[in-house]
Copies of this chain bind each other. A is one copy, B any other.
Amino acid sequence: MILKNLSIDCVIFGFKDNKLNVLLWQAEPELLQKYLISKEEYQQLKEIFEKNPALKSDKYWGLIGTHLPVEEDLDVYAKKILEVATGLKGIYLKQFRTFGDAGRIPHMRVLTVAYYALINPEYHNLELSPIAKAVRWFDIDQLPEVIFDVKEIILKALKTLREEVKYHPVGFHMLPDKFTLTELQTLYEVILDKKLDTRNFRKKIQNMGLLVDTGEKQTNVAHRAAKLYSFDLEIYHQLREEGLNFSI
């Protein structure tokens, strides 16, 4: 059985073409049934879709998520949704708010527990997880038409991410394992939506002790090849726990 008045949704952020992107989908109960829910749950879900034509439309996009089966833990299930939808494990995921205004969804009373996730778009192939009619990345500044209050949820996620990123070094999750300092800086500039001073940025980042020089360099670039860094997982976890004044 699924809880009809409760959904879990993920705002999945990715850093792509030097822009902050969000992964949205057009869900389809038939496909969800394959991976995430049981047969009876599928029947219930279908009813919900019947009630809201917007859910079935080709025009509107929604957050990746679904209703919560009674026997599932909230956080565990959110992780499961993400894994199924992206094919990736160990994604950075954070519950950031529950949306519950009475009128937010027509004809139904649904609360949405919202999470945001940070991933690197290069690391997964959307073709490989055909769990929806359509799945696509959208530039955060050029969102398509979305269902219900999804836009509000995305904006709140963004706001929360901006706060988070100021004090905790979470940005790394959106980069490949090996990255250049310029990529890292661009990421921060995009998230915070402001220019940062290159020299000061590098000094600060390097003083954190989080970066590991891999000894490798970029290849095939028409300019001086940048060093590739990875980051020290152990120190990362330590810094995350302690809170730290990261303060970019």
Residues of chain A at the chain B interface (Cβ within 8 Å): 3, 5-6, 68, 70-75, 95, 97-102, 109, 111, 113, 163, 166-167, 243, 245, 247
Contact B73 A109 (CB under 8 A): no
- A111 in contact with B243 given A5-B5, A6-B5, A97-B95 (CB within 8 Å): no
- 5 more CB-based (< 8 A) A-B contacts, given A74-B99, A74-B111, A98-B98: A5-B5, A70-B109, A72-B102, A163-B243, A247-B247
Q: Which residues of B contact A113 (CB under 8 A)?
A: 98, 100, 111
Contact A98 B101 (CB under 8 A): no
Contact A102 B71 (CB under 8 A): yes
Q: Which residues of B contact A73 (CB under 8 A)?
A: 100-102
**Partner pick for A101 among B5, B74, B111, B243, CB 8 A cutoff:** B74
Q: Which residues of B contact A98 (CB under 8 A)?
A: 74, 95, 98, 113
Provide the bound-state CA to CA distance between A101 and B95, in Å.
13
